[in-house]
Amino acid sequence: MTPEELEIEFRDAVERVNSHTAPFPADFLLRLYAYYKKATNDYGRPNSKKQIINAFKTNALFQVQDISQDQAKQEYINLVKNYFLYRK
């Protein structure tokens, strides 16, 4: 897959998540959050009002620190595809 194709597929996956109206499981959201932040090179600090949520987000970011931006995009895409494929 070319970098352009990967970017298009990533943006489509992001749009699919953003347009979904039902709540997602918390563990799924944390993985999406980490891969999205890594994929977009957004290294800002988590800014939830609840400290425990910030701690979970920070932990999720630590878990993806050793992958590339393109790997993060692909993992995000894979998560979204699998979620929508297997949800009922």
pLDDT tens digits, residue range 47-81?
Answer: 788 899 889 999 999 999 999 999 999 999 999 99
Domains of the chain: 3-86 (1.20.80.10)
The answer to whether residues 39 and 79 touch, using CB atoms and an 8 Å cutoff, is: no
Cα distances (angstroms) measured from residue 43 to each of 15, 16, 35, 68: 21, 23, 11, 14
How much is the pLDDT for 39?
96
Q: Give 57-86 as a DSSP string.
A: HHHHHHHTTTS-HHHHHHHHHHHHHHHHHH
Q: What is the CA radius of gyration of the chain?
A: 13
Instruction: Say what the pTM is.
Output: 0.90
Residue whose C-alpha is closest to residue 53's, from 29, 72, 76: 29
